[in-house]
Amino acid sequence: MTDKPFLSLVIPCYNEQEIVPTLLSRVDSALAVLNKPFEAIVVDDGSKDDTPRLLAEGMQKYPWLRVLRMRKNGGQSAAFEAGFAAARADIIATIDADLQNDPEEIPRLLPMLDQDGGYDLINGWRKDRQDTNFRRWQSRQANKIRNWISQDNINDSACSLKVYRSHTIKGLKLFNGAHRFFPALVKMRGYKVLEVPVKHSPRFAGTAKYGFGNRALRAFIDLLGVRWMKERYIRSQADEVPRE
């Protein structure tokens, strides 16, 4: 294992054989401009297509690439949790594998962690979202309801393009669907969040694997759970008294 990297990029990936080679090439070009050591952790969420082979080939080509393979398909939140646990850097970035999040945005977001006295999470906002009209409408309504119940003010909580200080997210036990609430969960722990508009691109190839689906009731129940967690979360600290 090489020295500790400056940045760990975590990417959940499920049945993305059409995209993997381009994804890895763009990550390589985008993060090379940092001139600092980095690692990218692609979490293969039990893919059943050619994704595992393409990732294995990528590991031969890119020394910064690490691959985790879930023993079975567990969903996006499970993949993120595995990636967060494996990340070695003090700064963690995340994107989706479908290249609708541009990896080239990450170098622009990184300095924002140090703005205005410092932030702990930079949350991407897909302000000009490149999706169908129905999907954009559905996303707006979901965020309005999410903010109303969770008492938050984030425009795009579910955007995967994020940059974290690692201590904000490591050790936080996730649940299925938790990736839609990361800003609220980070704030719950007492950390500062900045939301900024980011570029959003049409899907490069293939079809959505982590789509909306028929999950409204489950997402609503999750939202009530997040509201309860925010109100009951323990923020106290204790310091050991030294011997005199």
pLDDT at residue 220 in the model: 62
Give the number of other CB atoms < 10 A from CB of residue 130: 13
Mean pLDDT, rounded, for 78-89 = 94
In a domain, 222, yes or no: yes
For the chain, the domain total comes to 1
Cα four-point dihedral sign 204, 166, 64, 6: positive
Mean pLDDT, rounded, for 159-174 = 90
- Give dist(CA 40, CA 30) in Å, integer: 12
Question: Residue 133: CB partners within 8 Å, gap ≥ 6?
Answer: none
In a domain, 241, yes or no: no
Residue type present at position 42: V
In a domain, 41, yes or no: yes
In a domain, 239, yes or no: no
- Give dist(CA 45, CA 83) in Å, integer: 11
- Reported as a single tens digit per residue, the pLDDT across 109-127 is 999 999 989 999 999 998 7
In a domain, 147, yes or no: yes
In a domain, 240, yes or no: no
pLDDT at residue 80 in the model: 93
Q: Is 50 exceeded by the pLDDT of residue 208?
A: yes
Mean pLDDT, rounded, for 91-119 = 95
Burial per residue of 131-159, b for 16 or more beta-carbon CB atoms within 10 angstroms, e otherwise:
beeeeeeebeebbeebbeebebebbbbbb
Q: Is 90 exceeded by the pLDDT of residue 107?
A: yes
- Residue 27 confidence class, pLDDT cut points 50, 70, 90: very high
Mean pLDDT, rounded, for 68-74 = 92
In a domain, 203, yes or no: yes
Tokens at 197, concatenated: 């508009």
3-state helix, strand, coil in the chain (%, to 5): 40, 15, 45
- Residue 22 confidence class, pLDDT cut points 50, 70, 90: very high
Question: For residue 157, what are the domain limits?
Answer: 7-232
At 8 the three-state DSSP class reads strand
What values do phi and psi take at 38, rounded to 5?
A: -140, 165
**Residue 27's domain is classified under what CATH number?**
3.90.550.10
- Reported as a single tens digit per residue, the pLDDT across 209-232 is 544 444 555 666 666 566 666 666
In a domain, 207, yes or no: yes
Q: What is the pTM of this model?
A: 0.80
Give the number of other CB atoms < 10 A from CB of residue 194: 17
Any idea which of 1-5, 62-66, 87-91, 216-220 has the lowest mean pLDDT?
A: 216-220
Mean pLDDT, rounded, for 134-149 = 55
